[in-house]
């Protein structure tokens, strides 16, 4: 393995080495003097030793801090009493109980990492998860140290009229020299990662929520003044989430005030700090002219996610960072439930599974594969992954399938009641569900400790004489780094069997006296099992893994006619969509082989006819129709190839879209016209579905690249009254060679150049363009005045979109895309290691490509590895790739 240079040979942290802390902090009093060039932080910590039998040194975490003074029980400590290094402060002798006062100086204006306290748009804000609090003051910065916080903030009143922190406001007033102060007190114990502070010149929008017990909660949302008109949807989403959590989980909000602040510079989507959520502005700000329907959906989901954390993450938190999915997986499941209840459950499930299979399955198959509860890490920020979040949510969903809605609710009630105010583990979560339902979930726990995507291989047999239908199921899981062998998992497999009319058959297993009609959940526990269903009058069509009841790959040798039948008749709407996806994958991969062998490409007429019937159907959920018409993504198709050929996938997929557009041009055009709106803009599920299907039709028509269609697309771009339709048109125009492209791009920029979030869309669409010159355009845009390397949204919108969302152009055989990404990883790493690490992960699947591309990607990884003093964030990903 290549020797990788690193600033200090980063230490690997192992779950097996977890120990309870030697000391606890009971209360924290913080005092901030915010300044234009520097900030002074005074902390007063009430500390007690966990055990009376030993007196180990007190080791406090701290990074990028200038230590000014330390006092222990009022006595100033001499330098011989403590030791400093770049990551800690050690006090050699301390009593059993004591008060420690520390004064530090920090420089938020220079903090480009966006971790700890930093400035954004002239405002102060914080991001302390996972380990940012140690950049504010010396502390036991770990999630199992929970304390009650009181925070006083002092700042120039004119420049920073708004001063916010966690909890309830208990005092405020004026000071000398034009300064003022605010004092906040949080009555609930919390870990340091949930601390928050905001100071700035922000506009406040107020509302109110009345809880089911009759308490009035003040809702405050803070945005920059010019964005006041973009907060209505976020506030409405918050109130819906609060009501939903009371109804579905019985959880009521617990403080007098709930605050949300939108900031432009943020490494994440949002942060659930107790009572003071800090959001990336893209997940708060929306109005029809600037935000797409997808933006609205994402805002609703993220607002709900962070609110739901108040219980699943704040009141009950994780013991250590290996348990991150305890809060994140559970809360993702909760926000998915909420979003499904607000619109189409089938469409929401399709979106979530599509995202999981496209990205998390790839993560499971690569060098960064890890269990939902990892065994070790070098940099914890690298484990804010699809596996921890989305696969973690699927684990919770499986528990929901196994226990049923009532049993699951009983289990979560016990979990919240039993562990309120505690820092716990995934085992504690499962134990609560076990105890509430008197079940043994010992085998199920393996889902948290085993990495990789399980595979189910299923064979079937129908015996007409005995009227039985047998499913034989074998489960396996491929080896992953550090886990060559896997034990069988406890897997819920939701199934249905359809008769010749598409109706669900009653399902009865041997030994049962009554049959279950509709969906039935089989519980797989062994490596190989057989399930025999009785009283099956005819050979059925199997509808397996309904609603994607487990995050597995399912292999079942269905005939094409069976897939067409399921697409037309399955009662499970997810499986209707899935049947279409399976057909499309089979057809595309077959044509990929033809393309690689130089054979002419011919699209199956039955597939064309099926697409036509779908377009002509009377299905009322038009968003669902649009999803059925969407071909599998290039990333998802790549997962079916032993050696990924991005050129063949891209060209074949484009050929199929063109073939469908040519064969069904009149139908696409008629559907597009029929879906033209007849009234004022509305944002409800029906109208969103109409826009989605109409723009899907426009996308197919634009494959023909005809002057009249280009003109029609440009007309939609020019005259649409909402950003959804504008972006749909522009996303097609960026691919063409005609003059309409330049006209549209310039028009869009001229109109929206003052709106940073809208310009992010402009960057992204150009980064995703199919054009051969896309890389050159992306390189050019990195020098555009609107691009800012220190802003994560800009980096994700342009460099991230190109390297992770445009496989055909990023994986150009020349390797220029790889060199471009390598350059920017190295430029970003000293500024913001978290964002740099996210970018370098685009190289993770490098060993699955052809020899030429492998060598070119490996060369970039080695180049990064040889760079002196790369961050722990980038070091971990690069080293695992090169291992």
Q: Which two tokens stand for residue 367?
A: 């060098």
Instruction: Report the candidate in 116, 186, 105 with the shortest Cα–Cα distance to residue 147.
Output: 186
- Order the strands of the 148-156 sheet from edge to edge: 75-76, 66-72, 97-106, 39-49, 23-33, 148-156, 179-185, 168-174
> In whole angstroms, what is the distance from residue 713 CA to residue 728 CA?
9
Q: Is 520 helix (H, G, I), strand (E, B) or coil?
A: strand
CA distances in angstroms from 530 to 456, 473, 536, listed in the order given: 13, 6, 16
837: which residues sit within 8 A by CB, 6+ positions away? 379, 381, 382, 871, 873, 874, 876, 877
Q: Which of 300, 306, 562, 634 is catalytic?
A: 306
Partnered with residue 151 across adjacent β-strands are: 30, 184
Residues in the chain: 883
> In whole angstroms, what is the distance from residue 344 CA to residue 622 CA?
10
Angle between helices 293-308 and 723-733 (to 10 degrees): 120
Catalytic site includes residue 306: yes
CA distances in angstroms from 515 to 469, 510, 534, listed in the order given: 14, 10, 9
Under 8 Å between Cβ of 587 and 603: yes
CA distances in angstroms from 835 to 265, 791, 842, 871, listed in the order given: 12, 10, 12, 11
Partnered with residue 693 across adjacent β-strands are: none
For the four alpha carbons of 251, 252, 254 and 255, in that order, the dihedral sign comes to: positive
> In whole angstroms, what is the distance from residue 298 CA to residue 288 CA?
14
Q: Is 166 helix (H, G, I), strand (E, B) or coil?
A: coil
Instruction: Report the candidate in 353, 253, 205, 237 with the shortest Cα–Cα distance to residue 301.
Output: 237
Angle at 311 between CA 308 and CA 314, to 5 degrees: 105
Angle between helices 723-733 and 707-719 (to 10 degrees): 150
> In whole angstroms, what is the distance from residue 327 CA to residue 388 CA?
10
CA distances in angstroms from 410 to 63, 304, 414, 433, 729, listed in the order given: 43, 22, 6, 7, 48
- Residues involved in catalysis: 306
């Amino acid at each position: 393995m290549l020797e990788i240079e690193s600033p200090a040979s980063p230490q690997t942290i192992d779950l097996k080495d977890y120990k309870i802390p030697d000391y606890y902090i009971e209360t924290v009093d913080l005092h901030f003097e915010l300044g234009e060039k520097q900030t002074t932080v005074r902390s007063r910590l009430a500390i007690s030793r966990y055990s009376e039998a030993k007196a180990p040194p007190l080791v406090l975490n701290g990074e990028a801090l200038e230590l000014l003074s330390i006092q222990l029980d009022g006595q100033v400590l001499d330098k011989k009493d403590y030791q400093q290094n770049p990551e800690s402060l050690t006090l050699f002798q301390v009593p059993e109980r004591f008060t420690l006062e520390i004064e530090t100086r920090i420089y938020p204006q220079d903090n480009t990492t966006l971790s700890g306290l930093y400035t954004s748009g002239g405002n102060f804000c914080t991001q302390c998860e996972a380990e940012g609090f140690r950049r504010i003051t010396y502390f036991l910065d770990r999630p199992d140290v929970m304390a009650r916080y009181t925070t006083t903030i002092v700042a120039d009143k004119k420049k920073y009229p708004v001063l916010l922190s966690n909890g309830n406001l208990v005092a405020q007033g004026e000071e000398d020299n034009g300064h003022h102060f605010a004092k906040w007190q949080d009555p609930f114990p919390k870990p340091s990662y949930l601390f928050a502070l905001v100071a700035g010149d922000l506009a406040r929008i107020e509302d109110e929520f009345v809880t089911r017990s009759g308490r009035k909660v003040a809702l405050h949302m803070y945005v920059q003044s010019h964005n006041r008109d973009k907060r209505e949807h976020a506030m409405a989403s918050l109130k819906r989430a609060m009501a939903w959590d009371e109804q579905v989980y019985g959880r009521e909000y617990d403080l007098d005030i709930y605050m949300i602040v939108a900031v432009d510079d943020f490494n994440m989507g949002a942060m659930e700090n107790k009572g003071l959520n800090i959001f990336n502005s893209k997940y708060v700000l929306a109005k029809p002219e600037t935000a797409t329907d997808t933006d609205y959906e994402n805002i609703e989901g993220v607002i709900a996610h962070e609110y739901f954390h108040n219980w699943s993450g704040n009141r009950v938190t994780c013991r250590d960072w290996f348990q991150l999915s305890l809060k994140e997986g559970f809360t993702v499941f909760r926000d998915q439930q909420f979003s499904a209840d607000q619109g189409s459950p089938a469409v929401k499930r399709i979106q979530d599974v599509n995202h999981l299979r496209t990205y998390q399955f790839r993560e499971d198959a690569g060098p960064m594969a890890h269990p939902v509860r990892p065994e070790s890490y070098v940099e914890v920020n690298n484990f804010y992954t699809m596996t921890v979040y989305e696969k973690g949510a699927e684990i919770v969903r499986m528990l929901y399938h196994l226990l049923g809605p009532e049993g699951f609710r009983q289990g979560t009630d016990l979990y919240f009641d039993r562990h309120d105010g505690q820092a716990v583990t995934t085992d504690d979560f499962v134990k609560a569900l076990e105890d509430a339902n008197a079940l043994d979930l010992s085998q199920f726990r393996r889902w948290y400790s085993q990495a990789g995507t399980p595979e189910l291989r299923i064979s079937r047999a129908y015996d007409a004489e005995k009227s039985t239908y047998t499913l034989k199921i074998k489960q396996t899981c491929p080896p992953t780094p550090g886990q060559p062998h896997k034990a069988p998992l406890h897997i819920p497999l939701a199934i249905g069997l359809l008769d010749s009319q598409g109706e669900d058959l009653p399902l009865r297993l041997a030994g049962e006296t009554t049959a279950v009609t509709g969906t039935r959940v089989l519980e797989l526990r062994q490596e190989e099992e057989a399930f025999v269903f009785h009283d099956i009058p005819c050979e059925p069509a199997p509808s397996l893994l309904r609603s994607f009841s487990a995050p597995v790959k399912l292999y079942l040798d269905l005939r094409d006619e069976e897939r067409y039948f399921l697409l037309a008749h399955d009662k499970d709407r997810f499986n209707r969509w899935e049947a279409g996806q399976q057909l499309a994958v089979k057809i595309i991969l077959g044509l990929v082989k033809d393309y690689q062998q130089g054979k002419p490409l011919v699209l199956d007429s039955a597939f064309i006819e099926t697409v036509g019937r779908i377009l002509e159907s009377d299905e009322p959920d038009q968003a669902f129709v649009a999803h059925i018409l969407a071909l599998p993504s290039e990333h998802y198709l790549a997962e079916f190839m032993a050696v990924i050929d991005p050129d063949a996938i891209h060209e074949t997929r484009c050929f199929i879209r063109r073939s469908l557009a040519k064969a069904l041009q009149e139908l696409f055009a008629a559907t597009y016209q029929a879906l033209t709106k007849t009234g004022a803009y509305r944002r409800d599920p029906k109208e969103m579905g109409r826009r989605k299907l109409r723009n899907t039709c426009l996308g197919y028509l634009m494959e023909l690249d005809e002057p009249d269609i280009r003109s029609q697309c440009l007309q939609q771009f020019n005259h649409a009254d909402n950003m959804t339709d504008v972006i749909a048109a522009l996303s097609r125009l960026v691919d063409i060679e005609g003059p309409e492209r330049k006209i549209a791009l310039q028009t869009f920029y001229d109109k929206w150049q003052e709106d940073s979030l809208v310009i992010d869309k402009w960057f992204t669409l150009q980064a995703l363009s199919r054009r051969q010159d896309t890389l050159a355009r992306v390189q050019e845009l990195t020098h555009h005045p609107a691009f800012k390397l220190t802003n994560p949204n800009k980096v994700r919108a342009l460099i991230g979109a190109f390297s992770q969302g445009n496989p055909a152009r990023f994986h150009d055989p020349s390797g220029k895309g790889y060199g471009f990404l390598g350059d920017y990883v190295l430029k970003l790493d000293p500024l913001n290691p978290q964002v740099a690490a996210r970018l370098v992960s685009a190289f993770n699947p490098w060993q699955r490509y052809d020899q030429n591309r492998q060598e070119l990607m490996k060369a970039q990884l080695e180049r990064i590895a040889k760079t002196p003093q790369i961050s722990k964030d980038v070091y971990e990903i690069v080293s695992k790739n090169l291992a």
